[in-house]
């Protein structure tokens, strides 16, 4: 077992070292000849000057007749002028006007007799209704300076200036080499230990968004010679090389060593979290980045280092990331060793944004897909307190987030189904949901970080659901309870019930999997533990906490646990047996101030809809 410690270089210093190492690639922009017709989105390498005028001849601006202006002088309603066939030429819009003519009369303003003479009732002055040579563009005029992004209309203007091809900045090509013995191409049926290679799809899509191109190479096994050959080939064929995984200092981590052998390493280990085990260097003139294997770690390195590189090599200014101020909805602790990037959801219920941190695991790619923004905690800070004002870097537009309906609380797949129906119906807002448990819902409604909160809270004294909690936590009536659905809770066990579980008292014979504190299901669990006089400390797996019904079901199906409490639909989905325990009321808490919001009304409309009922019936375990 080999282990070397990495450096822990501050992000700004790491960037500085890297960009001075690869400055040649940043300053010497490569160019390629492009067809103007297809050039929208490209960046001009040099200034473009018109080769011809536009129009390049005197063109009629109207349908009508071209004339000599002086032939029309004196014409008026009372003194009309008649022009003979020889004095005019019929022209359509865009037609060249004859050399001896200098004006056009609109077809609407003339009357023609059988012989072809026309009568006009007002004079035209020279060049009236004529687009003279160069009206739009004059030969020699600069149509676009260097390093200009070609917009659709600029594309037209360049063509109008007679430029059919030009030198554009070459889009940097980023080679991406996925590595690892356990890595397999995308599949629906991975074997045990197979890791689906999805990182390269994320990074190649990011590169494209930043104006680069990507070339994804086949997966390379953890063999030093194979990887070295692949890296050599990559640096010959690409402008930048990204090596996925193997960037740390473990027994199979060859990235750093290979870059060192073939070129220069300037950083190995950056003081960011996630993202520490990154390697920065170059081989020949090609910048090379060793990215960590965890998707979220790698995304942090991509966003904070590679993004700048791609934009700059493409001749583009690096766009500033949009930021908003937000109130932190939950305390967050961070190490002094790292500059940390925390994914957060944002909601705007009242006047201000509330930011709620998402799961911080570096392997949780869905923390990025669910995130609305990033909270950066500097290296010298220990974190931030709940209620503190923080700055969030946006991943979505502030408008989209502002109009989002925030639904939080207890996990139920029903919320996702409502989200889907909302999308299908074309409402102008999206639903943003998170699973924080029923008690989390109460907190979120109290702190105005959500519009709606899903709860199923058993009053263990009365046996009733939800009501007494609302009375206790919202004595001022600032939140209302809306009826939701009935749900069957029960014990999920493996198919065939091999341990012969009959009721909750049998969990002592099992490895249990629990739900997180504050969830309605956990309250039910603790109530049943009390009722059956079970010793928590001796219940194996009691401390193994999950956040959703499907996560509990997944652990039972995989054999990590024998049983756990959850809803019927989750058991059904995973082919588990189900021993019903209770039918609970799943309701929605609404901030009364948000009650009449369009989005809240739409939510309840869908909740009552036959479309949703059909879907829930399909899933099973619900009553209405």
Which residues from 525-584 bind a second copy, rule CB under 8 A? 541, 543-544, 548, 550-551, 553-555, 557-560, 570, 573-574
Q: Does 618 bind a second copy (CB under 8 A)?
A: no
Number of residues that bind a second copy (CB under 8 A): 130
Report DSSP letters for 94-114, one per residue.
Answer: TPBPPTT--EEEEGGGEEE-T
CA atoms of 555 and 547, how far apart (whole Å): 12
594, exposed or middle or buried, with CB in 10 Å at 0-12, 13-18, 19+? buried
**Positions 340 through 379 that interact with a second copy (CB under 8 A):** 361, 363-366, 368-369
Identify which range of 105-113, 254-262, 267-275, 378-386 contacts a second copy by CB under 8 A: 105-113
Shortest separation between residue 479's beta carbon and a second copy, angstroms:
27
**Positions 445 through 474 that interact with a second copy (CB under 8 A):** none
Identify which range of 244-252, 465-473, 520-528, 586-594 contacts a second copy by CB under 8 A: 244-252
Residue with tokens 């699973």: 435
- The residue within the footprint of a second copy, chosen from 187, 261, 386, 623 (CB under 8 A), is 187
Nearer to a second copy, 129 or 443 (CB): 129
CB atoms < 10 A from the CB of 364, how many? Answer: 17
By the 8 A CB rule, do 494 and 556 touch?
yes
Angle at 582 between CA 502 and CA 610, to 5 degrees: 130
Q: Does 337 bind a second copy (CB under 8 A)?
A: no
- For 179-244, strand residue ranges (E) read 183-184, 195-196, 213-216, 240-244
CA atoms of 481 and 484, how far apart (whole Å): 9
By the 8 A CB rule, do 86 and 96 touch?
no
By the 8 A CB rule, do 574 and 557 touch?
yes
Angle at 485 between CA 484 and CA 491, to 5 degrees: 130
Tokens at 129, concatenated: 């209704």
Shortest separation between residue 29's beta carbon and a second copy, angstroms:
10
The residues facing 196 across adjacent strands are 184
Nearer to a second copy, 249 or 262 (CB): 249
* Distance separating the N- and C-terminal Cα atoms of the chain: 58
Q: Does 132 bind a second copy (CB under 8 A)?
A: yes
Identify which range of 9-17, 236-244, 246-254, 439-447 contacts a second copy by CB under 8 A: 246-254
Nearer to a second copy, 530 or 575 (CB): 575
User: Within 13 Å of residue 93, how many CA atoms lie on the same side as its CB?
Assistant: 2
User: Within 13 Å of residue 597, how many CA atoms lie on the same side as its CB?
Assistant: 23
Shortest separation between residue 474's beta carbon and a second copy, angstroms:
30
| Binding map of a second copy across residues 68-97, x = CB under 8 A, - = no contact | ----------------------x-xxxxx-
CA distances for 290 relative to 261, 306, 314, 342, angstroms = 14, 11, 21, 22
CA 429 to chain centre: 16
Nearer to a second copy, 194 or 608 (CB): 194
Nearer to a second copy, 90 or 327 (CB): 90
Shortest separation between residue 37's beta carbon and a second copy, angstroms:
5
- The residue within the footprint of a second copy, chosen from 10, 31, 117, 198 (CB under 8 A), is 198
| Binding map of a second copy across residues 167-186, x = CB under 8 A, - = no contact | -------------x-x---x
Q: Does 508 bind a second copy (CB under 8 A)?
A: no
Shortest separation between residue 92's beta carbon and a second copy, angstroms:
6
By the 8 A CB rule, do 165 and 33 touch?
yes
Identify which range of 14-22, 189-197, 463-471, 495-503 contacts a second copy by CB under 8 A: 189-197
- The residue within the footprint of a second copy, chosen from 33, 78, 153, 596 (CB under 8 A), is 153
Q: Does 323 bind a second copy (CB under 8 A)?
A: no
Q: Does 297 bind a second copy (CB under 8 A)?
A: no
Tokens at 470, concatenated: 């609302």
């Amino acid at each position: 077992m080999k282990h070397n410690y990495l450096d822990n270089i501050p992000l700004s210093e790491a960037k500085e070292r890297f960009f001075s190492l690869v400055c040649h690639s940043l300053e010497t922009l490569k160019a390629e000849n492009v067809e103007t017709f297809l050039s929208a989105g490209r960046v001009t390498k040099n200034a473009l000057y018109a080769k011809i005028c536009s129009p390049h001849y005197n063109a009629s601006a109207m349908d009508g007749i071209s004339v000599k202006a002086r032939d029309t002088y004196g014409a008026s309603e009372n003194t009309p002028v008649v022009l003979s066939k020889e004095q005019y030429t019929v022209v359509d819009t865009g037609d060249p006007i004859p050399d001896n003519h200098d004006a056009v009369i609109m077809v609407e303003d003339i009357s023609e007799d059988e012989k072809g003479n026309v009568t006009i009732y007002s004079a035209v002055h020279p060049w009236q209704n004529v687009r003279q040579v160069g009206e739009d563009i004059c030969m020699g005029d600069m149509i676009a300076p260097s390093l200009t992004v070609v917009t659709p209309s600029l594309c037209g203007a360049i063509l109008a200036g007679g430029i059919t091809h030009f030198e554009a900045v070459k889009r940097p090509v980023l080679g991406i080499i996925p590595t690892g013995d356990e890595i397999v191409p995308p599949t629906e049926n991975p074997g045990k230990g197979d890791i689906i290679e999805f990182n390269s799809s994320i990074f190649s899509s990011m590169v494209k968004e930043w104006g680069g191109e990507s070339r994804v190479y086949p997966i390379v096994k953890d063999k030093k010679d194979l990887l070295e050959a692949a890296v050599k080939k990559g640096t010959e064929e690409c402008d930048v090389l990204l090596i996925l995984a193997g960037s740390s200092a473990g027994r199979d981590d060859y990235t750093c060593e290979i870059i060192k052998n073939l070129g220069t390493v300037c950083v190995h280990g950056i003081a960011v979290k996630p993202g520490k085990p990154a390697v920065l260097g170059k081989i020949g003139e090609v910048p090379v980045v060793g990215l960590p294997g965890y998707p979220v770690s790698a995304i942090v390195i991509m966003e904070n280092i590679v993004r700048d590189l791609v934009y700059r090599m493409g001749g583009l200014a690096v766009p500033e990331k949009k930021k908003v101020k937000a109130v932190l909805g939950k305390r967050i602790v961070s190490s002094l060793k790292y500059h940390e990037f925390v994914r957060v959801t944002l909601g705007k219920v009242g006047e201000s944004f509330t930011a709620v941190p998402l799961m911080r695991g570096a392997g949780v790619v869905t923390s990025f897909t669910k995130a609305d923004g990033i909270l950066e905690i500097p290296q010298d800070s220990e974190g931030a307190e709940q209620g503190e004002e923080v700055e969030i870097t946006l991943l979505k537009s502030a408008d989209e987030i502002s109009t989002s309906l925030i639904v939080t609380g207890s996990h139920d797949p029903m919320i996702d189904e409502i989200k889907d129906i909302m999308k299908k119906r074309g409402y102008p807002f999206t639903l943003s949901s998170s699973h924080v448990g029923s008690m989390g819902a109460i907190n979120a409604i109290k702190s105005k970080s959500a519009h709606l909160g899903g709860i199923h809270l058993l009053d263990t004294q009365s046996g009733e659901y939800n009501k007494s909690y609302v009375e206790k936590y919202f004595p001022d009536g600032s939140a209302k309870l809306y009826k939701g659905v009935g749900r069957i809770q029960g014990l999920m066990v493996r198919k065939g019930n091999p341990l012969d579980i009959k009721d909750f008292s049998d969990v002592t014979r099992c490895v249990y999997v629990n739900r997180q504190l504050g969830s309605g299901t956990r309250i039910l669990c603790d109530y049943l533990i009390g009722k059956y006089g079970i010793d928590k400390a001796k219940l194996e797996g009691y401390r193994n906490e999950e956040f959703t019904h499907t996560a509990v079901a997944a652990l039972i199906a995989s054999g990590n646990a024998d049983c756990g409490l959850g809803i019927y639909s989750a058991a059904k989905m995973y082919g588990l047996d189900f021993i019903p325990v209770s039918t609970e009321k799943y309701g929605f808490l609404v901030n009364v101030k948000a009650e009449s919001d369009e989005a809240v009304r739409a939510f309840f409309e869908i909740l009552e809809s036959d479309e949703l009922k059909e879907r829930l019936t399909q899933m099973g375990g619900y009553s209405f």
